[in-house]
């Protein structure tokens, strides 16, 4: 009996040590891979990652104003750097978990050609992009159009999503013929989910480095440290790659 | 106050949207409110409930339905396309239609209260004087319901100025077309331009307070008289 209760106590404390919880703010473009990674993470470590998805700029404002997030997976590298400088992120915890890829996507099959020449034809109603001022994928889209000398021609057809998810949703519902979104949103297991797409070559825009960091609120949370370590592991990296991201 | 050109553009757009919405709702809301105030039909209840729906529905529900309905595959979108108007999401008139739905109860309910407050007697008197129903409406009901019209107009205008969720869902944030003041503030916050956000937010705060103050100070003496 005594031994049994000792075992019970050991189990309880072991469970207490391992079953931590971590609040994670995740950039909207990383929604699908992160859901998969969080499920693997729970299975492999017993820790639970509670995920919130949204725009990086909005998360910044919330974190600075005391939001309970412990880990931040941003859509860029400047926001985590700024948070670290301002004392809201744990110094030295930052690293690039994914390099984003931009894609010109249409919900219609055969609408977008493999070189993106559809942009030159002008035969489309709207182009959905994320707000270039705040979203790295939006900025990369504008940069790409500039490089193609098409910005002035295409700009009047811009509609802006509040974040990259809404940008895709405008295209998905057919309200915009075309949209510049993250490849990860329309890509799974190494291939396109549907519609047609031009994967924008990397030389058209600055690389989209997406950085993660442990936030001040997660400094002493073992689950937060474990999650960042897990993101660097082979299993998570394979998932990230399967959604079309590059790795650094 | 140093508002940028794009802030001023957003404010002007907001005023235009709220003004047009208020005018349209005066035309649509008055007959609905009149009917709701006078009718004894059994479906008065359901109609009243539908009119009040935007008070309790999350803007995301309204935005979601409107985006699908007005989109190229939706029933309303197919109608506008067959009329050669294209589709309405991401356009100013799309926002006007959304705002008409969104602000409907703010027009209808004060008017309905005003019409109900008039009671039967003035109408009966007008009828014995052989005034036609139309004549009665314009020379008896309208003057008597004037405070109701003012309240309804102010509330509708102010509520449309304060619209955010629906615009965010169907607007597409296009400068000068669908980027209203509330969305512009949201953009400033997202871009971490807090000084700009503060300035525009202060304008909205002062505007909203002034409107409500005007309405409540107008109201109290009227209540004493009654």
Higher pLDDT pick, B115 / B217? B115
Phi/psi class of residue A126: alpha, beta or left (left: φ > 0; alpha: ψ in -120 to 50)? beta
In this structure, how many other beta carbons lie within 10 angstroms of the beta carbon of residue A215? Answer: 26
Report whether pLDDT(B24) > 70: yes
Cβ pairs A/B, distance under 8 A: 58
Mean of pLDDT values over B125-131: 90
Mean of pLDDT values over A203-208: 95
CB contact under 8 A, A61 and B189: yes
Report whether pLDDT(A5) > 80: no
Q: Tokens in use for B207?
A: 């505007």
What is the DSSP code (8-state) at residue A150? -
The residue length of chain B stands at 226
Q: What is the 3-state secondary structure (H, E, C) of A172-231?
A: HCCCCCEEEEEHHHHEECCEECCCEEEECCHHHCCCEEEEEEEEHHHCCCHHHHHHHHHH
Mean of pLDDT values over B104-122: 95
Mean of pLDDT values over B144-170: 94
Please check whether residue A56 is in contact with residue A134, taking contact to mean a CB–CB distance below 8 angstroms: yes
pLDDT digits (tens, 9 = 90+) for A134-171: 889 999 999 999 999 999 999 999 999 988 999 999 99
What is the arrangement of strands in the sheet containing A48-54, beginning at the earlier edge strand? Answer: A48-54, A21-27, A71-73, A208-214, A95-100
Residues in A closer than 8 angstroms to B172, CB to CB, are: 126, 128, 158-161, 170, 176
Residue B226, pLDDT score: 41
Strands A127-130, A158-161: parallel, antiparallel or unpaired by DSSP? parallel
Percent of chain A with pLDDT over 90: 81
Return the residue matching tokens 């992120």: A89
Question: What CA–CA distance (Å, rounded) separates A184 from A243?
Answer: 5
Residue A20, pLDDT score: 92
Q: What is B85-138 written as a DSSP string?
A: ----TTSHHHHHHHHHHHHHHHHHHHHHHHHHHH-SHHHHHHHHTT--HHHHII
Exposed / middle / buried, residue B208 (Cβ in 10 Å: 0-12, 13-18, 19+): middle
Interface pTM, i.e. ipTM: 0.76
CB contact under 8 A, B87 and A158: no
Please check whether residue B104 is in contact with residue B163, taking contact to mean a CB–CB distance below 8 angstroms: no
pLDDT digits (tens, 9 = 90+) for A220-243: 999 999 999 999 999 999 999 999
Nearest residue to A158 via CA among B16, B7, B15, B176 = B176
The alpha carbon of A122 is separated from its chain's Cα centroid by a whole number of angstroms, namely 30
**Domains in chain A with CATH codes:** 2-99+208-242 (3.40.190.10), 102-199 (3.40.190.10)
Question: What CA–CA distance (Å, rounded) separates A248 from A98?
Answer: 7
Helices (H), B121-193: 121-128, 133-136, 142-144, 146-161, 165-170, 181-190
Nearest CA in chain B to A54: B190
Residues in A closer than 8 angstroms to B85, CB to CB, are: none
CATH of B5-41+55-220, one of 1.10.3720.10, 3.40.30.160, 3.60.20.10, 1.10.10.10: 1.10.3720.10
Q: Kindly tell me the sign of the dihedral angle through the C-alpha atoms of A182, A187, A191, A195.
A: negative
Chain A residues whose C-beta is within 8 A of a chain B C-beta are 55, 57-58, 60-61, 125-126, 128, 131, 133-134, 158-162, 166, 170, 173-176
Please check whether residue B110 is in contact with residue B116, taking contact to mean a CB–CB distance below 8 angstroms: no
Nearest residue to A59 via CA among A69, A44, A45 = A69
Domain map of chain B by residue range?
5-41+55-220
Nearest to B190 among A58, A128, A176 (CB): A58
Which phi and psi angles does A211 have, rounded to 5°?
-105, 150
Tell me the CA distances in angstroms from A120 to A131, A138, A154, A175, B76, one per residue in order. Answer: 22, 19, 9, 20, 30
Q: Dihedral (C-alpha) A205, A158, A61, B57: value to the nearest 10 degrees?
A: -150
Q: Tokens in use for B179?
A: 């980027």
pLDDT category of residue A19 using cuts at 50, 70 and 90: confident
pTM for this predicted structure = 0.82
B180 to chain A, closest Cα gap in Å: 13
Please check whether residue B185 is in contact with residue B11, taking contact to mean a CB–CB distance below 8 angstroms: no
Residue A66's H or E segment, with its range, is none
Residue B204's H or E segment, with its range, is helix B194-225
In this structure, how many other beta carbons lie within 10 angstroms of the beta carbon of residue A197? Answer: 22
pLDDT category of residue B30 using cuts at 50, 70 and 90: very high
List the single best residue of A64, A67, A154, A160 to mutate versus B (max B Cβ within 10 A): A160
Question: What CA–CA distance (Å, rounded) separates B219 from A123?
Answer: 56
Question: What CA–CA distance (Å, rounded) separates A40 from A191?
Answer: 22
Report whether pLDDT(B106) > 50: yes
């Amino acid at each position: 009996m005594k031994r049994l209760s000792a075992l019970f106590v050991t189990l309880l404390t072991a469970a207490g040590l391992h079953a931590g919880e971590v609040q994670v703010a995740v950039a909207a473009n990383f929604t699908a891979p992160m859901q998969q990674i969080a499920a693997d993470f729970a299975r492999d470590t017993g820790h639970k990652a509670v995920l919130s998805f949204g725009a990086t700029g909005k998360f910044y404002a919330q974190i600075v104003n005391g939001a309970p997030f412990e880990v931040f997976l941003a859509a860029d590298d400047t926001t985590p750097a700024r948070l670290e400088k301002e004392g809201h992120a744990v110094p030295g915890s930052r690293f690039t978990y994914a390099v984003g890829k931009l894609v010109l996507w249409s919900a219609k099959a055969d609408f977008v050609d493999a070189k993106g020449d559809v942009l030159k034809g002008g035969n489309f109603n709207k182009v959905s992009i994320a707000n270039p001022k705040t979203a790295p994928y939006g900025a990369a889209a504008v940069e790409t159009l500039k490089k193609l000398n098409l910005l002035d021609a295409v700009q009047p057809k811009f509609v802006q999503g509040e974040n990259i998810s809404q940008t895709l949703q405008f295209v998905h519902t057919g309200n915009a013929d075309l949209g510049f979104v993250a490849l990860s949103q329309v890509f799974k297991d190494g291939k396109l989910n549907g519609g047609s797409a031009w994967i924008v070559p990397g030389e058209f825009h600055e690389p989209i480095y997406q950085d993660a960091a442990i936030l001040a609120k997660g400094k002493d949370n073992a689950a937060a440290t474990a999650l960042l370590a897990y993101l660097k592991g082979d299993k998570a990296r394979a998932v990230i790659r399967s959604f079309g991201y590059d790795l650094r | 106050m140093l508002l940028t050109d794009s802030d001023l553009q957003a404010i002007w757009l907001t005023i235009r949207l709220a003004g047009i919405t208020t005018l349209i709702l005066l035309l649509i809301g008055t007959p609905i409110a009149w009917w709701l105030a006078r009718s004894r039909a059994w479906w008065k209840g359901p109609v009243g409930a539908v009119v009040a729906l935007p008070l309790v529905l999350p803007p995301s529900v309204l935005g979601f339905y409107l985006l699908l309905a007005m989109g190229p595959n939706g029933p309303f979108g197919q109608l506008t396309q067959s009329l050669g108007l294209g589709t309405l999401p991401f356009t100013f008139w799309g926002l006007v239609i959304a705002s008409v739905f969104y602000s409907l109860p703010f027009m209808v309910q004060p008017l309905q209260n005003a019409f109900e407050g008039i009671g039967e007697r003035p109408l009966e008197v007008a009828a014995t004087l052989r005034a036609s129903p139309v004549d009665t409406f314009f020379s008896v009901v309208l003057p008597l319901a004037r405070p109701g019209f003012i309240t309804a107009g102010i509330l509708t205008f102010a509520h449309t100025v304060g619209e955010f969720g629906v615009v965010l869902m169907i607007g597409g944030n296009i400068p000068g077309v669908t980027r209203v003041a509330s969305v512009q503030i949201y953009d400033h916050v997202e871009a971490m331009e807090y000084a700009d956000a503060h300035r525009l937010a202060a304008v909205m705060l002062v505007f909203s307070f002034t409107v409500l103050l005007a309405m409540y100070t107008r109201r109290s003496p009227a209540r004493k008289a009654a």
